[in-house]
Amino acid sequence: MIKRGLLATAALASMLTMGAVTAEAKTFVYCSEGSPEGFTPALYTSGTSFDASSRNIYNRLVEFERGSTIMQPGLAESWEVSEDGLSYTFKLRPGVKFHTTKYFTPSRELNADDVLFSFNRQWKADHPYHKVSGGTYEYFSGYVSFPDILQTIEKVDDLTVKFTLQKPDAAFISKIAIDFASIHSAEYAQQMMDAGSPEKFDQEPIGTGPFQFVSYQKDAFIRYQANENYWSGRAPLDKLVFAITPDAQVAYQKLAAGECHLVPYPNQADLAAIEANKDLTVDSQEGMNVGYLAFNTEKKPFDDKRVRQALNYAMNKESIIKAVFQGAGNAAKNPLPPTLWGYNEEIQDYPYDPAKAKALLAEAGVTELSTNIWAMPVKRPYNPNARRMAELIQADWANVGVNAEIVSMEWGEYLSRSQKGDHDTVLLGWTADYPDPDNFLSLLNCASAKSGGNRARWCHKEFDDLFQEAVKVSDPEKRTQLYEQAQAVFKEEAPWVTVAHSVVHKAMSNKVVDFRIDPLGGHVFYGVDLEE
Amino acid sequence: MLRFIISKLGVLIPTFLGVTLIAFSFIRMLPGDPIELLAGERGVSPERHAQLMADLGFDRPIWEQYFSFLWGILQGDFGVSFTSRTPVLEEFLTRFPATVELAGCAIIFAALIGLPAGIIAAVKRGSAFDHTLMGISLAGYSMPIFWWGLLLIILFSSPDMLGLTPVSGRLSALFWIDQDTGFMLIDAFVSDEKGAFKSAVSHLILPTIVLGTIPMAIIARQTRSAMLEVLGEDYVRTAKAKGLSPLRIVGVHALRNALITVITVIGLQVGVLLAGAILTETIFSWPGIGKWMIDSISRRDYFAVQGGIVLIASIVMTVNLLVDFMYGLINPRILHRR
């Protein structure tokens, strides 16, 4: 009877048109991996929310060139930095229009008030919008610690804004190019406040970006249309739809059935089938990330660098990468990815040398070491299978007489307990927020050893001094030198085993023209087109 | 009747309190701190952690948090989801129509196939049909929903196989219709967009089958056993002796009595459907409350999870209560038991 039911339903289905994607108005369908938390990027931290908001609806003063980490002018046409590195003066682009939608019609163009509004909302506790929609600004207050950096933000004239810092921060320009620093319309905010519904400001976004928001059906679709008045020229696409599809297997089926054009995180296991399909393409690029194993340097015997070096020598990295990444990863020798400036090419990685490892352990007086390896319970771009990786490391270490137990637990617990330093060694990784060595090396400084982000709990004076110095200097060459030296200290001290930099894949229809993989992990659809 | 209603309601209040307590405590018993999860690999300083905990009210004593949750519910306030920063009730209500639509179609599908199958199996007891049906329904009952869903997607939706139905979602991305009622079949029907209704129906087919499979198996088995019981009764034998046609005996005399049990079973499937919806919605990217619950649990969104569980449990309890009343009305012996 079930069979009969199925046949009947199948027959009904065959009578219905499926509505595969066609191109009347050019509609691009993106099989996004999840629902955004909201549309004001400053309130959130996930890439899913940024894709749905900052990367397509908004602009920032300074932006990254599409598909690269090169900085380019955004809403600021130009900027000047004072000699002492303490003040940044931005000249705003004239004639920039905010979106005109069915819920808002702007009466003026972008000006300095909008910039002040966008930052002050996050900064000033007495700002009328500060508490709206929960009022936590993790990037501003936590990750980039702007309250500790900013002194003042002033409107010099309608099209000039001056930021004054408490202390020099060479990564400041990179930081204001990230999502939380998106520029909002102060006029729209005021209108919503006057109407008594300020939280609408965060649910129905108005920006200056290439696409404007049309509607959001929770957990189903987000719809956008091209901004006809975009300051950098109208997008080639007419409409953009995010079809929310969390299951990667289902997303692949939708791609194959022509129901969407791009899948951001295809399953490794599906890649061969996608490549074999004549209508589909897989694009790959080395990701701006690093997967590592951190030693808890506060615990014995990992406080001895000879032990850490020995365990570096004991690991057969190449075979681990082959097994875990299946060709989609490269061995890492530095804590920075090679695609980032400041990467030290000269560094020599610890080769696989069990004999040397044994000798170093003996020298350190370590015999019969029993330890643990914490393996993450989740898949991450920098480590697609931590359990497998841990097993291989366990086997390698056993060869040099180190007995390691694999420990795994729920992800939240894993993060929290490893932050408190409960582990001996822990597998984790990092994906860049902004393209500056500062973003990676801050995981290894003394401040983060205290706060817990530094899972090696490694606080090394020489490294920390170099790190602090590099933040203050604005000359890029000098900064590069300092970071290169810091990497040399890191390698010698070996608080981590740098395991791999992974390759990211995007699966798409052959009709997609000029989609560029963003090294920072975003999905930007301005400039993308569809072939007829 | 009044006494019956009062006794039922008397049971309901402690049950409801129990549900609030379980919903409140279970999500907190899960390992994993919501703020650590939010911060991810980068970690969060102890000061910032304490500040965020205070902002969310998690620094208060646990009993105080529970009573403020309970007090909120009594005033219709289920708290604010701390991932989306929107009221939990609003989050629930915008997604609920999607689940109702799917569950409604699934139960209709289950009854339309399960009822006649059960009746025929009972009438032809011991036949090949009976054995086959019981075998299939046992399989249907024990089928892992996740596997079944993916299997159907690959079979019916993959362009390499049959390619008949869409893979997931409620509507093709090409249709831009307004969500006035939240019921896609209605919204698509009244919209101006040509083909939207067909698209909505075709998107419903696979999720309906997947979600309806277990209830269908249960209904078929229960109908069969209820019918067998009734068919063995004296009055059925009398009817046969009087020379009534088999159709009349089964259709009028036996079925009406068997239906009492079957209706109760169908009513009790509401809980099963809502539980099944969690998996079905995840597989088919169906934007209902099941998928929302899963997302909220993985984010440790305490307010969304505790509010969502209480709302879902309230619905199941209300439906069960209505079934009890209906049962009482159909079968007066229940009312006069005391």
Mean pLDDT of B76-100: 88
Strands A221-226, A369-374: parallel, antiparallel or unpaired by DSSP?
Answer: unpaired
Confidence of residue A11 (pLDDT cuts 50, 70, 90): very low
Q: Which residues of B touch A35 (CB under 8 A)?
A: 295
Task: Output phi, psi for A427, to 5 deg.
Answer: -90, 130
What is the rounded average pLDDT of the residues A202-227?
Answer: 93
Sorting pLDDT into bands at 50, 70 and 90, what band is A1? Answer: very low
Of A9-23, A149-163, A427-441, B311-325, minimum mean pLDDT range? A9-23
**Counts for chain B of helices (H) and strands (E), in that order:** 15, 0
Q: Which residues on chain B are in Cβ contact (under 8 Å) with A416?
A: 32-33, 36
Alpha-carbon gap, residue A474 to A469, rounded angstroms: 10
Q: Which residue of chain B is at minimal alpha-carbon distance from A421? A: B43
Cα separation, B220 vs B215, in Å, equals 8
Contact A256, A280 (CB under 8 A): yes
Backbone angles phi, psi at B54, to 5 degrees: -65, -40
Interface ipTM: 0.75
Shortest CB distance from A142 goes to which of B44, B133, B157?
A: B44
- For residue range B227-276, what is the model confidence (pLDDT) as tens digits? 888 888 888 888 888 888 888 888 777 777 777 777 778 877 877 788 78
Question: How far apart are the CA of A466 and the nearest CA of chain B, in angstroms?
Answer: 21
**What are the tens digits of pLDDT across the range A471-502?**
888 788 899 999 999 999 999 999 999 999 98
Residue B156 or residue A302, greater confidence? A302
- pLDDT tens column, A279-316: 999 999 888 999 999 999 999 899 999 999 999 999 99
Over residues A245-255, mean pLDDT: 86
Q: How far is the alpha carbon of B325 from chain A, nearest alpha carbon, in Å?
A: 32
Cross-strand bridge partners of residue A383: A380
Write down the residue that tokens 């009482």 correspond to.
B328
What average pLDDT does this structure show over B187-208?
88
Enumerate the residues of chain B whose CB falls inside 8 A of the CB of residue A254: 167-168
Looking at the partner chain, which of B45, B209, B295 has a beta carbon nearest the beta carbon of A9? B209
Does A523 touch chain B if contact means CB atoms closer than 8 Å? no
pLDDT digits (tens, 9 = 90+) for A431-472: 888 889 999 999 999 988 887 789 999 999 999 999 999 988
What's the pLDDT at B336? Answer: 59
- β-pair partners for A262: A30, A508
Instruction: Give contacts of A247 with chain B, Cβ < 8 Å.
Output: 168, 282-283, 285
Q: What is the mean pLDDT of residues B35-59?
A: 79
Kind and range of the H or E run holding A73? strand A71-73
- CB of A35 less than 8 A from some CB of B: yes
Average pLDDT over residues A144-171: 93
pLDDT range class, residue A20, cuts 50, 70, 90: very low
Confirm if B28 and B300 have CB atoms less than 8 A apart. Answer: no
Categorize the per-residue pLDDT at A143 as very low, low, confident or very high, splitting at 50, 70 and 90.
confident
Interface of A with B in 343-402 (CB under 8 A): none
Per-residue pLDDT, averaged over A77-94, amounts to 94
Task: Say how far apart CA A322 and CA A331 lie, in whole Å.
Answer: 10
Cα–Cα dist A321/A383, whole Å: 10
Distance CA B98, CA B107 (A): 14
Which CA distances in Å does A56 have to A42, A60, A206, A397, A484?
A: 15, 11, 11, 47, 35
Backbone angles phi, psi at A184, to 5 degrees: -105, 170
Please provide the average confidence, as pLDDT, over all residues in chain B: 84
What is the DSSP code string of A375-422?
--SS-BTTBS-HHHHHHHHHHHHHTTTEEEEEE---HHHHHHHHHHT-
| pLDDT class of B156 with cuts at 50, 70, 90 | confident
Which chain B residues are Cβ-neighbours of A443 within 8 angstroms? 42
User: What amino acid is encoded at B6 in this protein?
Assistant: I
Partners of residue B313 on adjacent β-strands: none
Q: What is the pLDDT of residues A373-423, one digit of tens each?
A: 999 888 888 888 899 999 999 999 999 999 999 999 888 788 888 888 999
pLDDT of residue A6: 42
**Two structure tokens written together for B291:** 């998928």
Q: Are strands A221-226 and A239-243 parallel, antiparallel or unpaired?
A: antiparallel
* Mean of pLDDT values over B81-97: 88
Q: Do B292 and A448 touch (CB under 8 A)?
A: no
Burial, A72: exposed, middle or buried (Cβ in 10 Å; 0-12, 13-18, 19+)?
A: exposed
Residues A171, A472: Cα–Cα separation, whole Å: 9
Out of B32, B170, B195, the one facing A220 most closely (by C-beta) is B170
Q: Rounded to a whole number, what is the distance in Å from the CA of A355 to chain B's nearest CA?
A: 34
Q: What mean pLDDT do residues B136-155 have? A: 86
Residue A116 clears pLDDT 60, i.e. is over it? yes
| Per-residue model confidence (pLDDT) at position B27 | 84
- What pLDDT is recorded for position A496? 96
Q: Confirm if A287 and A502 have CB atoms less than 8 A apart.
A: yes
pLDDT at A356 over 90: yes
Distance CA B302, CA A361 (A): 47
Task: Give the nearest partner residue to B84 out of A6, A38, A415, using CB atoms.
Answer: A38
Q: How far apart, in whole angstroms, are the C-alpha atoms of residue A435 and residue A454?
A: 19
Nearest CB to B292; choose among A134, A219, A448: A219
* pLDDT > 70 fraction of chain B, expressed in percent and rounded: 97
Buried b (16+ CB within 10 A) or exposed e, A291-312: bbbbbbbeeebbebbbbbbbbb
Helix (H, G, I), strand (E, B) or coil at A506: strand
